[in-house]
Amino acid sequence: MAIARSASETRAFDALPVRWHQGAVALGQWARKIADWFIPDSLLLDTDTHHRALMFLTSHLLGPWLGFTVIGYLYLVDPTAGMVLWAPAAAIAAFLLFPFILRGTGQLNLLALVSVENVAFIVLYLSYFYGGMSSPFLPWLITVPLLAFFYLGAERRLRNITLAAFVGDIVIFYAVLHAADPASRVPLEQLSTVGLVSLLCAGLYVTMMAFYYARIVNAHSELAREADRHKQTAVMLAAARDAAEAANRAKSEFLATMSHELRTPLNAVIGFSEIMVRESFGPLGDARYKEYANDIQDSGSHLLQIINDILDISKAQTGTFELEETLVDCEELINSACLLLRPHIDKANHSLELSIAQPLPQLRADARMCKQMLVNLLSNAIKFSSDGSDIAIEAVADLRQGLTIAIRDDGIGIPARDLERVRKPFEQAESALNRRHEGTGLGLPLVDLMMAEHGGTLDLESIEGLGTIARLRFPSERLIWSSGHEPRASDTAQSPPRIAPSPSIPAPATAGGFAVPTVLVVDDNEDLRLLLERMLERAGFRTVGASDGRAAFQYLETASVDLVITDMVMPRMDGVELLRLLREAKPDLPVIALSGVDDFFEYRRIATHLGARNALQKPVSQADLTAAVNNVLAPQSKVA
């Protein structure tokens, strides 16, 4: 039992540091929540300002208690001081009001200047009555320039004002001291204990502020070290990228040469066989010659399609696929693919059922690739289904799930063990029926790669002997939902103008009766504003730009848009003020807030509290931006 108790006591003793650490972390989180309560929303939008506000609050919530300690010891030495002690005690107590004033006004710089001057007043006041130039309170003056550095940060003008006022305070103190030459209320030898307490409190105060500042510096240093590591990684990745690009160029050149060498004789084979089938220069004689010529033409066309598939596979695998994106009408896309394969469907006596949900959004995609993907999947459904089978195509769009096009057949199906293998080039499921049909095994891999280029997926669901369902899933950021505005007569596809003193905006362009939403982008950084506009225009939206909140609000007084995307930190009028004005003047106009605040969750709470429908953190990707815009602009019925 003694050994067991000893081991238990040892474990308990070893656990003490962990418990102390957990307690310290919990205490720090609790203190951070209290400090954040005093910081107004306007000071949370900039990281440096937020850190300075935290240092200001830490100093004013903890520092006054050290000052009260000094006043208390001084009262023990000079209990009859009266107003001589009450005045500095009231000035110290005033520090406790500063956090509440900060919460109510948000004037950090002004309060910092007043606070520093108040410290100088208290120190020089006590020094005047207790010891003069030999006062034990004068060491507190060292905190004045430190506080100016901590509170005002990189605000050089304000720091210079503070230091100039500090020098003026010392000069005035020296002049008054020598003009009046008052006697110390308490002999210096009796102030030794108070002096020791004063020095100890001053040291604790400076140490506390220095430790907090060191935490901030260490955080920035860690970021700098992380940036250096990323730079080294970037150099290595650049070298690997250059090597891969050289290999890709060599492969592309080889494929281009091979394509040319194969296509040239194929053109002759297909062209001459077509002339023979049509009997352009007269009858061939025996009917078998025409049949053979037709076989030659079909075989040549099939070989050409194989070459095209191989080149597409190569481009996709080497990342040289280039999407030619347009706004695609989904229903028209499906109908064109069905029309192309209608002869094969009729020949096999299949029944084709279409189920297309209405209304469907526009799809931002490569129309040629989308048609090829549908043709490949529909061809497989026709080829691997017995004559007279049912084939169904279903299309449905959802705000969160995106667009899904499903092709279902009642064919031979794919064994579960082969569902992943058939996605690889030149692979086919092991089936006797499959081997009786032509094919290279490139159809599904091509669809898989093309969907990946579009940011989507190909899902296969199959049961051997019962059939297969192939689903094309396009992400929601590729869908362009109508904002509900009617098309206008002055439709144009030209680039939207910049905001001018007499602003005017053309009516939104339309695609097949579909009104393209207009987005107002507000940011004082012109490069970032233009980048956001390009991203939105590439996604199919029209854009207008403004350099600050004032220009945006003036524009909105005479024109209308579907959505506003605004930065939160800008000169003249920032995003906070713009949100407040729009909440009163245009409460139904949706707004997305955008900024580079590090504490994103807290920032999103602030932005949505001010009326923003959504909030994005810089840097923002095209996918996130487009998804956020679609989420705000989509019809309310789709959100449910």
Query: Pick from 562, 515, 507, 516: which is nearest to 537 by CA?
Result: 516
| Lowest mean pLDDT segment, chosen from 87-96, 209-218, 304-313, 350-359 | 209-218
Which pLDDT does position 11 carry in this prediction? Answer: 57
Which phi and psi angles does 521 have, rounded to 5°?
A: -105, 125
- CATH of region 485-639: 3.40.50.2300
Average per-residue pLDDT for the chain: 76
Q: Which comes out higher in pLDDT, residue 317 or 413?
A: 413
| Lowest mean pLDDT segment, chosen from 215-219, 279-283, 579-583 | 215-219
Within 8 A by CB and 6+ apart from 418, the residues are 429, 430
Which pLDDT does position 213 carry in this prediction? Answer: 66
User: Which range is most confident: 94-108, 285-299, 490-504?
Assistant: 94-108
Query: Pick from 514, 508, 474, 517: which is nearest to 623 by CA?
Result: 474
Please check the confidence at residue 473 and state whether its pLDDT lies above 90.
Answer: yes
Rounded to an integer, the average pLDDT of 402-423 is 85
SS3 91: helix
Instruction: List pLDDT tens digits, range 231-274.
Output: 888 888 888 888 877 776 776 667 656 665 666 677 667 777 77
Please check the confidence at residue 405 and state whether its pLDDT lies above 90.
Answer: yes
Tokens of 469: 């369902």
Question: How far apart (Å, rounded) are the C-alpha atoms in residues 552 and 518?
Answer: 14
The helices-and-strands tally (H runs, E runs) of the chain is 19, 13
Query: Pick from 551, 508, 516, 545: which is nearest to 530 by CA?
Result: 545
Rounded to an integer, the average pLDDT of 586-605 is 74
| Contact of 539 with 477, CB cutoff 8 Å | yes
Which phi and psi angles does 563 have, rounded to 5°?
A: -160, 150
Which pLDDT does position 317 carry in this prediction? Answer: 64
SS3 403: strand
Rounded to an integer, the average pLDDT of 536-555 is 87
Rounded to an integer, the average pLDDT of 481-495 is 41
Please check the confidence at residue 472 and state whether its pLDDT lies above 90.
Answer: yes
Which pLDDT does position 520 carry in this prediction? Answer: 92
**In the chain, what percentage of residues exceed pLDDT 70?**
75
Instruction: List pLDDT tens digits, range 118-140.
Output: 888 888 888 888 877 777 778 77
pTM: 0.42
Residue 583 pLDDT level (bands cut at 50, 70, 90): confident
Q: Which comes out higher in pLDDT, residue 432 or 230?
A: 230
For the chain, how far is it from start to end, CA to CA, in angstroms?
65
Within 8 A by CB and 6+ apart from 388, the residues are 348, 349, 350, 351
Count the neighbouring beta carbons within 10 Å of the beta carbon of residue 410: 19
Instruction: List pLDDT tens digits, range 45-62.
Output: 777 787 778 778 878 888
Residue 168 pLDDT level (bands cut at 50, 70, 90): confident
Which pLDDT does position 167 carry in this prediction? Answer: 84
| Lowest mean pLDDT segment, chosen from 147-156, 298-307, 377-386, 489-498 | 489-498
| Lowest mean pLDDT segment, chosen from 1-5, 417-421, 461-465, 539-543 | 1-5
Which pLDDT does position 41 carry in this prediction? Answer: 78
Q: Where are the alpha helices (DSSP H) in 154-286?
A: 156-180, 192-278
Which pLDDT does position 203 carry in this prediction? Answer: 72
| Lowest mean pLDDT segment, chosen from 163-172, 225-234, 308-317, 417-426 | 308-317
Longest Cα pair distance anywhere in the chain, in angstroms? Answer: 137
Residue 489 pLDDT level (bands cut at 50, 70, 90): very low
Question: How far apart (Å, rounded) are the C-alpha atoms in residues 539 and 519?
Answer: 12
| Contact of 45 with 603, CB cutoff 8 Å | yes
Which pLDDT does position 252 carry in this prediction? Answer: 63
Rounded to an integer, the average pLDDT of 171-199 is 73
Residue that the structure tokens 């540091």 belong to: 17
Please check the confidence at residue 157 and state whether its pLDDT lies above 60.
Answer: yes
| Lowest mean pLDDT segment, chosen from 222-236, 419-433, 447-461 | 419-433
Q: Could you give the C-alpha distances from 349 to 343, 382, 385, 506, in angstroms and in order?
A: 10, 10, 11, 52
- CATH of region 338-479: 3.30.565.10
Please check the confidence at residue 501 and state whether its pLDDT lies above 70.
Answer: no
Residue 511 pLDDT level (bands cut at 50, 70, 90): very low
Rounded to an integer, the average pLDDT of 89-106 is 88
